[in-house]
């Protein structure tokens, strides 16, 4: 059975993907579409509800993003958030103007609990505000259902027409009970059944791939990352040995990673090819210090090695890719997937013969990909693997790469990850790793002088990888990590912790 759909119309706000993830967390399937999606297309999609996101514009500005007001006559429930709420107010005949007092950040709000969105919630709670404009006059037929000291319409509704608005952002964690408010909209107003679940998705996706591919052959470049691993697991369930996974071990992976990938996939009924190309890559990188050159060499060599293996397999019908929903949304509508596909595989489609690309994860967010991976029986160490850059440890060994430096870094990085896991921080940090700097300094161990490398530890939290904040790890965790690394790994006598956010720094050091 087809899932119920909630349509999220994107007005360019910074929390748009977050709204979509929150809706999915409520077990309701949703899609993000640009606000320009024509009414006829909206009707065709037959959504049970529509959510307008926030956006950076003022609804009063000339040419501000808008929708056809006939959208409100479709009989589909609509929830406007922030800009979306103001737009709804304006299009329904209300007035929006510059707020005498602008609100940013945590704000206390009072709620009318007779609203379907707020019943059973506290009368007063904190909401996350971020607005310059405010609704100065309600449209006819609407009533205000929440207010703050400076904002008389913090929420509004016309329950008869099933139109609702919130000036604040229920999707961010700072808004108390925000999830429950969204849930109320979805379940009480839109009549959601909560039918979006990864177990049923897995069954359906497997059936769809089977139907599409028939007896055809699929080729997948398996990196060992979460997306390509889950993609492989799904395809293996669907078509078994018609799938060939090529895993190019560049020698730039973390400790044991190559073997872990091999172990997981050698148990599956797929054709698994591991290419041990470490010495090839090391040879190509000899004497190279510039980070961009390292990236380029690894990217190009990867393609070359992959192609050589693919040629041995011969003609394939499909090239599979682990593209996920954020990639699709970020590239915009239309041929988004194609743009990303080329980007992902660095030109492979031009050189490997195949008929079509298949992307079985293109509707899923990262947390859903992980849930699907578990559903398909992938081990936790693959499902919960943190993001890892394509060039791997090559951009975490500063300066020239040698086998010795890679080994030092691998051991140190392993200890850091081990200590993070022991401290129970493993799943609450976006990315954490060690960097072997190119700097040496003087130390003393035992009675002797040392002159060895400085190792940097980095841990960041991020929602989009465009910005990131360094993680305030407990001193005890840093201390244990530092003591262990210096004692257990040779050639490191000094450890520093990176306390810069992005910007101004980047997440990786190179
Ligand atoms: P930066 O260092 O740019 O990293 O703040 C942002 C995110 O991207 C990852 N990263 C890469 N991923 N190829 C990749 O596939 C690369 O060359 C690359 N460089 C950085 C990084 O690990 C972080 O998650």
Q: Which one of 330, 508, 509 would you pick to mutate in the ligand 1 pocket, going by the greatest count of ligand atoms within 8 A of its CB?
A: 508
The pLDDT assigned to 353 comes to 72
| CA pair distance 465, 293, nearest whole angstrom | 22
How far from chain centre, in Å, is Cα 115? Answer: 33
User: Is 169 considered catalytic here?
Assistant: yes
Which of 361, 355, 376, 298 is CA-nearest to residue 327?
A: 361
The pLDDT assigned to 348 comes to 53
Cβ(390) to ligand 1 under 6 A?
A: yes
User: Is 343 considered catalytic here?
Assistant: no
The pLDDT assigned to 70 comes to 97
Whole-prediction pTM:
0.84
- Which residue ranges of the chain lie beneath pLDDT 70? 331-352
3-state helix, strand, coil in the chain (%, to 5): 40, 25, 35
Catalytic residue, candidates 103, 157, 171, 260: 171
The pLDDT assigned to 344 comes to 41
The pLDDT assigned to 417 comes to 97
Catalytic residue, candidates 26, 30, 82, 92: 82
Q: Which two tokens stand for residue 336?
A: 């988004």
How many angstroms does the Cα of residue 327 sit away from the middle of ligand 1? 14
The pLDDT assigned to 271 comes to 95
Cβ(389) to ligand 1 under 6 A?
A: yes
Cβ(225) to ligand 1 under 6 A?
A: no
| CA pair distance 71, 50, nearest whole angstrom | 10
Cβ(500) to ligand 1 under 6 A?
A: no
SS (H, E, C) 243-263: EEEEEEECCCCCCCHHHHHHH
What is the position in ligand 1's atom list of the atom closest to the CA of 430?
Answer: 24
Cβ(393) to ligand 1 under 6 A?
A: no
The pLDDT assigned to 340 comes to 26
Contacts of 431 (CB under 8 A, 6+ apart): 386, 387, 458, 459, 460, 462, 468, 507
| CA pair distance 420, 150, nearest whole angstrom | 44
26-29-31-37 Cα dihedral, nearest 10 degrees: -110
Contact assessment for residue 21 and residue 45, using Cβ atoms and an 8 Å cutoff: no
User: Is 171 considered catalytic here?
Assistant: yes
Buried b (16+ CB within 10 A) or exposed e, 7-17: bbbbbebebbb
What is the position in ligand 1's atom list of the atom closest to the CA of 431?
Answer: 24
| CA pair distance 441, 232, nearest whole angstrom | 45
The pLDDT assigned to 126 comes to 96
Nearest residue by C-alpha to atom 18 in ligand 1: 389
What is the position in ligand 1's atom list of the atom closest to the CA of 462?
Answer: 24
Cβ(345) to ligand 1 under 6 A?
A: no
The pLDDT assigned to 14 comes to 82
| Structural Rg of the chain based on CA atoms | 26
Cβ(139) to ligand 1 under 6 A?
A: no
The pLDDT assigned to 327 comes to 83
Catalytic residue, candidates 92, 151, 169, 359: 169
Cβ(174) to ligand 1 under 6 A?
A: no
Nearest residue by C-alpha to atom 22 in ligand 1: 389
């Amino acid at each position: 059975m087809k899932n119920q759909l909630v349509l999220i119309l994107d007005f360019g706000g910074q929390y748009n993907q977050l709204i979509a993830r929150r809706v999915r967390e409520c077990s309701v399937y949703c899609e993000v579409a640009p606000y320009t999606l024509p009414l006829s297309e909206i009707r065709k999609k037959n959504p049970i509800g529509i959510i307008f996101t926030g956006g950076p514009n003022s609804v009063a500005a000339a040419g501000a993003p808008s929708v056809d007001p006939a959208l409100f006559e479709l009989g589909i429930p609509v929830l406007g958030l922030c800009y979306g709420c103001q737009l709804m107010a304006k299009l329904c005949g209300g007035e929006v103007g510059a707020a005498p007092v602008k609100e940013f950040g945590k704000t206390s709000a009072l709620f009318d609990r007779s609203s379907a969105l707020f019943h059973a919630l506290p009368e007063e709670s904190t909401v996350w505000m971020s607005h310059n404009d405010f609704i100065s006059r309600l449209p006819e037929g609407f009533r205000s259902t929440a207010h703050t000291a400076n904002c008389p319409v913090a929420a509004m509704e016309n329950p008869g027409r099933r139109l609702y608005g919130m000036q604040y952002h229920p999707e961010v964690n700072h808004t108390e009970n925000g999830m429950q408010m969204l849930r109320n909209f979805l379940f009480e107003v839109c009549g959601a059944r909560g039918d979006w679940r990864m177990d049923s998705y897995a069954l359906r996706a497997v059936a769809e791939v089977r139907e599409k591919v028939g007896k055809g052959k699929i080729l997948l470049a398996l990196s060992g990352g979460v997306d390509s691993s889950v993609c492989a697991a799904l395809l293996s369930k669907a078509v078994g040995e018609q799938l060939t996974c090529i895993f190019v071990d560049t020698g730039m992976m973390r400790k044991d990673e190559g073997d872990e990938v091999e172990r997981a996939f050698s148990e599956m009924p797929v054709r698994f090819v591991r290419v041990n190309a470490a010495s090839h890559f090391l040879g190509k990188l000899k004497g190279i210090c510039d980070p961009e050159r390292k990236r380029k060499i690894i990217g190009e060599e990867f393609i070359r090695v992959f192609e050589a293996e693919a040629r041995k397999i011969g003609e394939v019908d499909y090239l599979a890719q682990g593209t996920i929903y954020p990639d699709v949304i970020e590239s915009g509508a239309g041929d988004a997937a194609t743009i990303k596909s080329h980007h992902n595989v660095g030109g492979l489609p031009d050189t490997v013969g195949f008929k079509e690309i298949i992307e079985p994860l293109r509707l899923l967010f990262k947390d859903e990909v992980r849930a699907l991976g578990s559903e398909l029986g992938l081990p936790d160490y693959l499902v919960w693997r943190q993001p890892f850059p394509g060039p791997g440890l090559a951009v975490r060994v500063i300066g020239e790469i040698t086998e010795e430096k890679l080994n030092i870094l691998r051991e140190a990085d392993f200890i850091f990850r081990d200590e993070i896991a022991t401290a129970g921080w493993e799943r609450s940090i976006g990315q954490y790793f060690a960097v072997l700097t190119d700097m040496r300094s003087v130390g003393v161990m035992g009675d002797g002088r040392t002159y060895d490398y400085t190792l940097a530890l980095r841990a960041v939290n991020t929602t989009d990888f465009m910005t990131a904040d360094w993680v305030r790890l407990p001193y005890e965790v840093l201390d244990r990590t530092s003591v262990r690394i210096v004692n257990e790994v040779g050639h490191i006598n000094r450890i520093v912790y990176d306390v810069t956010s992005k910007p101004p720094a980047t997440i990786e050091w190179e």
